[in-house]
Structure 1
Amino acid sequence: MNSASQLKNFHCISEEELFAKLNLSDARGLSQDEAARRLQIFGPNELAEEEKVPWWKFLLRQFKSPMVYVLALAACISIIMGERLDAGAIVVVILINAVIGFLTEYRAEQALQALKSMVVRQVKVIRDGEIRLLPSQELVPGDVVLLEAGDVVPADGRLIEAFSLAVDESTLTGESVPVDKTTDTLPEDTLLPDRINCLYTGTAVVRGNGKMLVCATGLHTELGRISTMLQKVEKREIPLEARLAKFTKFLIKLVLAIVVLIVAIGVLEGNELLAMFQTGIALAVAAIPEGLPFVATMTLALGVHRMAKLNALVRNLASVETLGSTSVICTDKTGTITLNKMTVRESLIASDKARELLFRVAVLCNNASINHENQIGDPMEVALLKWAYDNGFDPNEIRREYPRLKEDPFDSSVMRMATYHDDGIAVKGAPERLLQDCSFIYENDALKPLSSTLRDKWKDDVERLAKMGMRTLAFAFGRSLDELAFLGVVGIMDPPREEVKEAVASCRDAGIHVIMVTGDHVTTAVAIAKEVGIMDDHGLEALDGRQISEMDEEEIARRAREVAVIARVFPEHKFKIVKGLQKAGEVVAMTGDGVNDAVALKQADVGIAMGIQGTEVSKEAADIILEDDRFATIVNAVAEGRRIFDNIRKAVIYLLCCNLSEVLVVFGGILLKLPALLLPLQILWINLVTDVIPALALSLDPPEADTMKRPPKRKDEDILTRAHQIKIGFFGSVMFLGVLGITLYSLKYLGFSSLKATEISFHSLVLTQLFFVFSVRESSILRNPADLLKNPYLFLGVLASMLLQVAITYIPIFQRVLRIVPLSAGEWGIVLIGALIPTFVLQLYKLIKGV
């Protein structure tokens, strides 16, 4: 063969065949000339950079919204009609909304830069039979790389030598425990997490040393493949954006209907066509809730601030609401459901006499170290030291009393480690191997032969621990390796966080399906899932990566709600799982911390990265970052997302009801041939004083009582359902009838002038709308009076707006522009009655409905 190539599935190829495929004669490595030639063919061992998005594109993106287009059209019409103040107010709202969105969402897409940072700079390579230190970018297929504890693997390759080699592959596979490596050839269908004869870019050597034959570099590595997938993933449309776009279409239809209706009725009543057209346009502009984009953006921004206090950092605004729409949470196990701290959860000790000796062996046959500041070593060995310390055995004292003379490192072929001391040999290893190697056992405080019956009993105990998802270790001690006494077994596991069980139950109440997606073994994952309530005995099942590989997205969609655990997965699996769930109509939140999670995080409706354990790659691909890595924080964030959407919906209903009442007041005056009940500038003032402050205060409303007791919104559910549209028509009509009634009373029975009646109508409508903000909530104040003060900001906002409305009657410029004068106490009393009647009617209606 004249040239080598980038290899795939090199785990199942024999060492001799590997050398042949890579056109390599032996482990002396490539010649410098051949390496240079291959570098020209394959290119540098690095990942391609994605083109950076300039800041101005992020800014322009804020203006690409149907609602912004409608507001811009309204501003243009206002300028044509001479209402420059109205147009200016609309433009200011558009700009403020854009600036807030830009400042919150502007983040450079640095996922590939983060991936590149994981590729080490200098590596030890054998070239021309000599060890050389080279930049990792110069590695090519066929290079032989030397690795030892502390090194980061620079390329993908096959081990040709391994001495007690263990590698932390959690960033790639999600498995929490370092993987012991071997040089054995594996079956072709071996899944990536089980390919113990291979090393992958970006993983870290934690123990031992070895030689790796480079088989793939750059974009052909697993890390490179993930980066390629990451570039191809297009972020899905955010549900809130889709809902606002649909709402905007509804609003456009409503505005056009208002214009046509006003013009038609006005002309039929004998008014001039041009005058009525101008009136219709003016009312159409008034009907558009100019403050909605600002209120929605500020509600989301305030939600982002609140979520930061909940330890959830949000990278883009709309993801807050999307999280509230979540119907499925795909959660990682390690560090999210569990503590990411290996812990001895159960111990089986041969006898009381063996107890002290077992703890001594656990400390002596151990290379880890712990102190108050940090811990160093294999997580399982660290767990043993902590276990010993918690049981009154000080590791430092034991090691001083029994110094180590020699060590046999852990060897995967004999499946044990041994340390030599003055009084004997301490051994730990796989229970099945030690039970075979031991000749004696401490029973009833006496050393007795280890019978086959006892061996079988201990094997049953070990199997029981394994079925509980625990990793088992056995301990022995003796004068020599041929005279070992069996001491006992411990079960080690990464335990679940205390609050997870309650959080999972909360998800169930909220109609959210939780799926544990992990790189760990099925047995371990199922044990944890059952312990925290994700999985039960009522039909939910567990799948592994091999089964997912055989399923298509349609089958995943069909079985979406039947699966609780998916184990032994790798990047394509997670991506496929998310797409399948989305095909089933689910809104998917995916958590992750490793490189292997990045593609799925980007594809998910909401990607949630871990802030403590997460890689920079996962954080850059995510929408939300958890500062504490807790599953409970996700559930709290879901509740916050639901609260935010509820409050945005309240604001929409409030704004449309208020604007509809204004339209009906003007329309009713024309229909009944009354004097103008509202002047154009009075309509503008009403929108300014009643829209922004109360609607914004609504965003601070606490959650409704049933926030986490109801199912998620359907994916296709609009901001305003048919029921909400009917409610808006009813509420707007009640406010209109109240204002119309008090105006007719002022004209017909009190004999007020048309100008005074217009002012009464003006003030009454303002106060009616301010009082109405309390009727937007689901429950009636007559049933729950305390609700009036449950949001003090709303109460203070309404009070401030009322005082402002009174104050303008004494300010000359407002008196001239709005054609108003100070009212007497009796006249204010009439206004107050006119405003309270609609509020009382609406609250009584809610009381009768039983809410």
Structure 2
Amino acid sequence: MDFNVPKNFKGLTEAEIQISREKFGYNQLNKTEKTSWLKLLLDIFREPMLILLIIIAIIYFVVGNFGESLFMLLAIVVVSGISFFQDNRSKKALEALEKLNEPLSKVIRDNKILEIPTHEIAVGDLCVTEEGKMINADGIILHSNDFSVNESSLTGESFSVFKDNKSSDKQVYSGTSTVSGLAVFEVQKIGKETKLGKIGESILSIKVEKSPLQIQIERFLKYMAIIGIIVFISVCAVNYYHTRNVVDSLLNGLTLAMSILPEEIPVAFTTFMALGAWKLMQQGIIIKKSSIVETLGSTTVICTDKTGTITENSMHLKAVYDFKSDRSYNEAEFSEAVISEILQYAMWSSEPVPFDPMEKTLHEIYSKTQPKDLRPYFKMFHEYPLEGKPPMMTHIFENDKADRIIAAKGAPEAIINECDLSEDQKNAIRKQMDFYGKKGYRLLGVAKSNFKGEQFPLKQQEIQFEFLGLVVFYDPPKKDIQNVFRQIAEAGIKIKVITGDNAQTTESIALQAGIPNKSVPVNGDEITNLPEAELRKIAQEKVLFTRMFPETKLRLVEALKKNGEIVAMIGDGVNDGPALKAAHIGVAMGEKGTEIAKTAASVILTNDDLGKLVIAIAAGRRIYTNIKKAVQYIISIHIPIILTVSLPLFLGWVFPQIFTPVHVIFLELVMGPTCSIVYESEPMEKNTMLQKPRPITETFLTWRELIVSIIQGLVIAAAVLFVYQMTFLHGGNEEMTRTMVFTTLIFANILLSFANRSFYYSMFESFRNKNILLVIITSLTLFILGVILYVAPVSNFFKMTALNVEQLLTATSAAILSVMWFEIYKLIKRYC
């Protein structure tokens, strides 16, 4: 809405802002302290893996193994460095999202209107609020125009209250929302001193609910920790029984504890979610809470508005229907005198300073077609805001001579009902409505009144109106919208169109947009009072819902949720707020959406492009799939490490301590970046958006998936232990056996990371999905392995020896056989 700053509204100067800020601070609640790098580092040192490394380093130092102790200290630096890098990336991504999510507020400073971040509002500022905006500070009204505010967030009352600078209550409060008109208010209180702030201080202590995926992963980690403790005690006891050596027993137990603990999983989860949200932000999709990324991939129903979402919201005036002559006029005939009255009253019934696209068009047409512009001479002195079912609005103007203009417009059905018309006349109008509606045009009825009294009735419906005609707008579907809905349908996601427009227009636009629909549209009145069971059935079966009101939209969303659907609700208006809040994923439009809609939503599409939602859903599916790949990889590769550390001891083999903590930590250093860095960067598989959404109630890892991962791990373990026995039987000493086992496990780990890129497509087909990080990590691992095997001081430290070509081929062959069987499994899965 445009607003010319009155000359007496100068606002604060820069110097006054500084003084105010020093005295009252910033407009924000006492936020939880931002995580510093030192706090991040301290948090990292509370991780179980780091604690184990520190204990092992101390034990090595105490017994005089200074080389191993130094290596452990180096490992502590590397592991904490990786964790710090990942945590810092996540932290920066989340901070960037938080900054982007902060709403802007309009203020008058130095006699200019500026948009500033809300936290920069200062006491004494002159704030401008308008329809659809949140009020972000407490203040007193200085100027207003048809201003009404919803204070339900403070009072619990859902109806709006009209206020101006002459009202007994001139106060506006932070957290309330502007329902209509415009107001300028002087800020008196900000931050925690506001009325809402005093209530809201307790909000900071409320814990954010964990997502189902987080709960499942935490449960899995708890089980693994319990297993780790049991095995640790068992290994310590068995080792002590055989050796009577406390230090060796502790080291063996700690080595196994390290191999069991899947500490990479929580790091991977946090990284995937935070970076997923950050990457979407770069594409113009703002995710308010990173965990919503998980839910996006499960979306089963998208409820979308029509205007501005499916259509361009351009509102081009296509035709005018004159009731008196029962004739329609096209664009070339708008200047004809016979329809001058309709165009005049359509404009007068609009806001004096229009912001709605239809009202902007009516003002523009009025300027072009009327010989004299009467707007400067008439002042609006009474208004009935948009209300009713279907809705209408009425404006009353007067000039200095007490000449009066009373103009109304709204849904044609609403206007017809308030005019003295015969049934034949109503049918003639309805015939025109059907004709234009079937073409996808949007219609407004226009009426006037000659009400003479000064005591205006409480409701506009009590005024007697004279029907003038219809103004006909065309709001065409957006370009490429058909392709967007095709992709949504291919992804197994249902579409529901929920709009305030009439049935014919909605049906026509839906057809033009390519929305699959075989059912008859449902009118909001039909479902308002339906029992829940019937509503749930209609919500499931029907596609188009017309003449919908805020409470009906909310009921529909709730019904879909009770049907087990994961609902994404798209909206941009004040009336969409409740439904946006209730949906699993509320999606607001960034450009044309009201601030109330953006506040209620969990996702904001910055350029109002519905195609971005498809990208967000695809990203949600990719991230969820990649987390599963990472976790399955972790499970599979931990099994051979656990069994290689424990079985030689439990079975009384010749070399019971084939791996020491030094070897296990090296393997952990390979696995950590693979699961949390490499798999996070893994591109989306080509069939991802051709599959049905996963049920949100589905267990993170199904028994089938878990069994596959366990089998993968057991087969690799069998190959590694086979190499152990074969090397020993061929005369290999402890160093040679350790080297063969270690090399086989490293090769198997590399091949597993490639094989698990897809649980459907072959490894070779996955090579088409470029992942440069996988190449870097693999190359680095092979290089370090080469150093360990062929650089003598390093080999000696790791208690290993160099391998010849034949031995390398043996280790490679065992690794290939232990992993590549999975490619045959995937082949059978694809074609059987």
TM-score range (shorter-chain normalised) is: 0.5 to 0.7
Distance in 2, Cα, partners of 1:73 & 1:580 = 49
Partner of 1:766: 746
Aligned residues of 1:607 and 1:624 also touching (Cα < 8 A):
yes
Partner of 1:757: 737
1:153 to 147, 156, 160: 147
Aligned residues of 2:320 and 2:470 also touching (Cα < 8 A):
yes
Mean Cα deviation higher: 89-98 or 56-65: 56-65
Partner of 1:806: 786
Aligned residues of 1:368 and 1:376 also touching (Cα < 8 A):
no
Aligned residues of 2:304 and 2:497 also touching (Cα < 8 A):
yes
After superposition, the Cα gap between the structure-2 partners of 1:216 and 1:737, relative to the gap in structure 1 and judged at 3 Å, is same
Shift of 1:321: 2.2
After superposition, the Cα gap between the structure-2 partners of 1:308 and 1:404, relative to the gap in structure 1 and judged at 3 Å, is closer
For each residue in 1:31-52, what CA deviation from the matched residue of structure 2 results, as whole angstroms up to 9, or x when unmatched?
xxxxxxxxxxxxxxxxxx8843
1:380 aligns with 2:388: no
Aligned residues of 1:788 and 1:795 also touching (Cα < 8 A):
no
Distance in 2, Cα, partners of 1:663 & 1:488 = 81
Aligned residues of 1:295 and 1:695 also touching (Cα < 8 A):
yes
Partner of 2:177: 223
Partner of 1:279, secondary structure, is helix
Partner of 1:423: none
1:321 aligns with 2:294: yes
* Matching residue's letter, 1:255: G
Partner of 2:688, secondary structure, is coil
Shift of 1:651: 0.9
Partner of 1:699, secondary structure, is helix
1:357 aligns with 2:338: no
Segments of 5+ residues of structure 2 without an aligned counterpart are: 1-26, 61-71, 106-117, 129-136, 180-194, 348-352, 385-392, 398-406, 417-422, 448-466
Aligned residues of 1:789 and 1:795 also touching (Cα < 8 A):
no
Distance in 1, Cα, partners of 2:333 & 2:501 = 32
| Map 1:410-809 → 2, pairs under 5 A | 459-466=430-437, 470-472=442-444, 491-517=472-498, 528=509, 532=513, 536-538=517-519, 541=522, 543=524, 547=528, 561-562=540-541, 564=543, 565=545, 568-570=548-550, 585-594=564-573, 601=580, 604-620=583-599, 622-670=601-649, 671=651, 673-675=653-655, 676-693=657-674, 696-749=677-730, 751-779=731-759, 785-793=764-772, 794-809=774-789
2:809 to 829, 833, 836: 829
Aligned residues of 1:608 and 1:623 also touching (Cα < 8 A):
yes
Shift of 1:765: 0.8
Partner of 1:372: none
Aligned residues of 1:654 and 1:695 also touching (Cα < 8 A):
no
After superposition, the Cα gap between the structure-2 partners of 1:618 and 1:836, relative to the gap in structure 1 and judged at 3 Å, is same
For each residue in 1:155-210, what CA deviation from the matched residue of structure 2 results, as whole angstroms up to 9, or x when unmatched?
579xxxxxxxxxxxxxx9xxxxxxxxxxxxxxxxxx98xx9xx7757xxxxxxxx9
Shift of 1:270: 7.9
Shift of 1:86: 4.9
Shift of 1:398: 7.3
Aligned residues of 2:758 and 2:766 also touching (Cα < 8 A):
no
Partner of 2:681, secondary structure, is coil
Shift of 1:841: 2.2
1:342 to 296, 310, 315: 315
Partner of 1:9: none
Distance in 1, Cα, partners of 2:531 & 2:414 = 38
Partner of 1:630, secondary structure, is coil
Partner of 2:223: 250
Distance in 1, Cα, partners of 2:217 & 2:552 = 33
Mean Cα deviation higher: 536-545 or 315-324: 536-545
Aligned residues of 1:612 and 1:628 also touching (Cα < 8 A):
yes
Distance in 2, Cα, partners of 1:803 & 1:347 = 77
Partner of 1:491, secondary structure, is strand
Aligned residues of 1:557 and 1:582 also touching (Cα < 8 A):
no
Partner of 2:311, secondary structure, is coil
Aligned residues of 1:333 and 1:525 also touching (Cα < 8 A):
yes
Partner of 1:756, secondary structure, is helix
Distance in 1, Cα, partners of 2:706 & 2:617 = 26
Partner of 2:6: none
For each residue in 1:288-341, what CA deviation from the matched residue of structure 2 results, as whole angstroms up to 9, or x when unmatched?
233333333333344234323432123443222222233343444443233222
* Matching residue's letter, 2:728: L
After superposition, the Cα gap between the structure-2 partners of 1:745 and 1:655, relative to the gap in structure 1 and judged at 3 Å, is same
Distance in 1, Cα, partners of 2:307 & 2:329 = 36
* Matching residue's letter, 1:631: L
Mean Cα deviation higher: 528-537 or 691-700: 528-537
After superposition, the Cα gap between the structure-2 partners of 1:97 and 1:214, relative to the gap in structure 1 and judged at 3 Å, is farther
RMSD (Å), alpha carbons: 5.6
Segments of 5+ residues of structure 1 without an aligned counterpart are: 1-48, 124-134, 140-144, 158-171, 173-190, 202-209, 370-374, 389-394, 419-427, 436-451, 476-485
Distance in 2, Cα, partners of 1:630 & 1:416 = 34
* Matching residue's letter, 2:797: V
Identity %: 22
Aligned residues of 1:256 and 1:284 also touching (Cα < 8 A):
yes
After superposition, the Cα gap between the structure-2 partners of 1:254 and 1:523, relative to the gap in structure 1 and judged at 3 Å, is farther
Partner of 1:470, secondary structure, is strand
* Matching residue's letter, 2:605: L
For each residue in 1:695-744, what CA deviation from the matched residue of structure 2 results, as whole angstroms up to 9, or x when unmatched?
52222222223322333333233332212221121001111122222333
Aligned residues of 2:682 and 2:757 also touching (Cα < 8 A):
no
Distance in 2, Cα, partners of 1:248 & 1:615 = 43
Distance in 1, Cα, partners of 2:46 & 2:504 = 53
Aligned residues of 2:443 and 2:470 also touching (Cα < 8 A):
no
2:31 to 53, 66, 81: 53
Aligned residues of 2:590 and 2:604 also touching (Cα < 8 A):
yes
After TM superposition, the score normalised by the length of structure 1 is 0.66
Aligned residues of 1:337 and 1:497 also touching (Cα < 8 A):
yes
For each residue in 1:216-270, what CA deviation from the matched residue of structure 2 results, as whole angstroms up to 9, or x when unmatched?
9646997399979999898543333223223322322442454356457657878
* Matching residue's letter, 2:702: T
Aligned residues of 1:666 and 1:678 also touching (Cα < 8 A):
yes
Partner of 1:760, secondary structure, is helix
After superposition, the Cα gap between the structure-2 partners of 1:215 and 1:343, relative to the gap in structure 1 and judged at 3 Å, is farther
Partner of 2:588, secondary structure, is strand
After superposition, the Cα gap between the structure-2 partners of 1:748 and 1:271, relative to the gap in structure 1 and judged at 3 Å, is farther
Distance in 1, Cα, partners of 2:147 & 2:42 = 44
Distance in 2, Cα, partners of 1:455 & 1:710 = 49
Shift of 1:644: 0.8
Distance in 2, Cα, partners of 1:241 & 1:495 = 43
Distance in 2, Cα, partners of 1:515 & 1:63 = 48
Partner of 1:101: 90
Aligned residues of 2:484 and 2:611 also touching (Cα < 8 A):
yes
Aligned residues of 2:591 and 2:607 also touching (Cα < 8 A):
yes
For each residue in 1:467-521, what CA deviation from the matched residue of structure 2 results, as whole angstroms up to 9, or x when unmatched?
757214689xxxxxxxxxx999663144432444443443344343444455666
Distance in 2, Cα, partners of 1:223 & 1:725 = 50
Mean Cα deviation higher: 703-712 or 591-600: 591-600
For each residue in 1:736-771, what CA deviation from the matched residue of structure 2 results, as whole angstroms up to 9, or x when unmatched?
12222233333323x333212211211121111001
Distance in 2, Cα, partners of 1:470 & 1:366 = 19
* Matching residue's letter, 2:32: P
* Matching residue's letter, 2:669: L
Partner of 1:614, secondary structure, is coil
Shift of 1:656: 1.9
For each residue in 1:786-819, what CA deviation from the matched residue of structure 2 results, as whole angstroms up to 9, or x when unmatched?
3234224234432342233223434455334323
Distance in 2, Cα, partners of 1:767 & 1:100 = 30
